[in-house]
Amino acid sequence: MTAPTIGVVIPAYNEGARLPGFVEQLTRVCLATASPILELIVLDDGSAPEQAAKERASVEAAQAQLTREGSPHRFRFVAAERNSGKGSAIRKGWREADPQAEWLAFLDADGAVSADEFLRLATLAATSRDFDVVVGSRVQMAGRHVERSLFRHLQGRVFATLTDLQFHLGYYDTQCGAKLFRASLLRPLLDRLQEDRWLLDVELLVLMREQGARPLEVPIDWADAGDSKVRFGVDAVRMFLGLKKMHRRLHLLQKHT
In the prediction, which pLDDT does 35 show?
A: 92
Task: Please tell me whether residue 166 adopts helix, strand or coil conformation.
Answer: helix
pLDDT score, position 232: 47
Low-confidence ranges of the chain (pLDDT < 70): 1, 142-143, 148-154, 156, 226-236, 252-257
Half-sphere exposure of residue 72: CA atoms within 13 angstroms, side-chain side: 13
Whole-number pLDDT of residue 13: 97
Q: Residue 189 gets which letter from DSSP?
A: G
Q: Name the percent of the chain in helix, strand, coil, to the closest 5.
A: 45, 15, 40
pTM above 0.85, yes or no: yes
Q: In this predicted structure, what is the pLDDT of residue 2?
A: 75
One-letter identity of residue 14: N
- The pLDDT tens digits of the residues spanning 150-200 come to 666 667 677 777 788 888 898 988 989 999 999 999 999 999 999 998 899
Distance CA 102, CA 212 (A): 17
Task: Specify the pLDDT at position 230.
Answer: 53
Per-residue buried b or exposed e for 137-175, using 16+ beta carbons within 10 Å of the residue's own CB: bbeeeeeeebeeeeeeeebbeebbeebeebbebebbbbb
Listed residue (93, 33, 95, 102) closest to 59, CA to CA:
93
Rg (CA), the chain: 17
- Alpha-carbon distance 92 to 87, whole Å? 9
